[in-house]
Amino acid sequence: MAEKLYAGHTFEETVRLYADTVTGVCVMRLRNSTDAEDCFQNVFCKLYEKSPDFDSDEHLKAWLIRVAINECVSYARKFRMPFISKPPEDNAYYDNTDSMDMSWALMETPLKYRDVLYLYYCEQYKVKEIAQILKIKENTVKSLLKRGREVLKTIYGGDDT
C-alpha cells in the first residue's frame, strides 16, 4: 500500500516542514510549552487520522494553522485554562532578553490580537489569507492588526513618530 501524501509530502516531511508553524501557533495561544506540545501532537494526529486532500502547500499550512487554533481552544476549554495568565518563567519559548525577537511581546498581547499579529508578522500571511484562515472578515483583520500594533507598541516599546 502506498503511503498517503499531503500536498506531495509524506507525513514525516509534513511534520518537519510545519512543526515550527504549528508550535508557534500553539505556544502563542496557550503560552505554555507543555500544553503546546500536547496540542502539537493532537494536530498531527488529526492530520494522520483524517488524511484530507490538499491542493497545495499553502492549503496544507492553512489547514494545520486552523486545526492548531481549534485544538488550543478545545484544550483550554477542557482544562478550564484562562488565557490571561502570564507565561511561566521557565517556558523555553518565552525569552524577553532578545530585543530582536518579538514573540515575547506577542505573548503579552490580548488573545483577540495575538492570532492576527502572529500570522501577519511571524508567518507572513496577507490580510486576505488571515481572514480566510481565521474565518473572519478582512476589515476585522485590519482593525485587529491596527489595534494589536498599538498594544504591541506599548508592550515592546517604540518611537512615537
**CATH number, span 1-83:** 1.10.1740.10
- What pLDDT sits at residue 100? 46
**pTM here?**
0.80
| Domain 1-83 shares a fold with domain 97-161 | no
Which tens digits make up the pLDDT trace of 32-65? 889 999 999 999 999 999 989 999 999 999 999 9
CATH topology of domain 97-161: Arc Repressor Mutant, subunit A (1.10.10)
Spell out the domain ranges in the chain: 1-83, 97-161
Q: Per-residue pLDDT averaged across 89-105, rounded?
A: 54
Which tens digits make up the pLDDT trace of 64-82? 999 999 999 999 888 876 5
Distance of alpha carbon 47 from alpha carbon 133, whole angstroms:
17
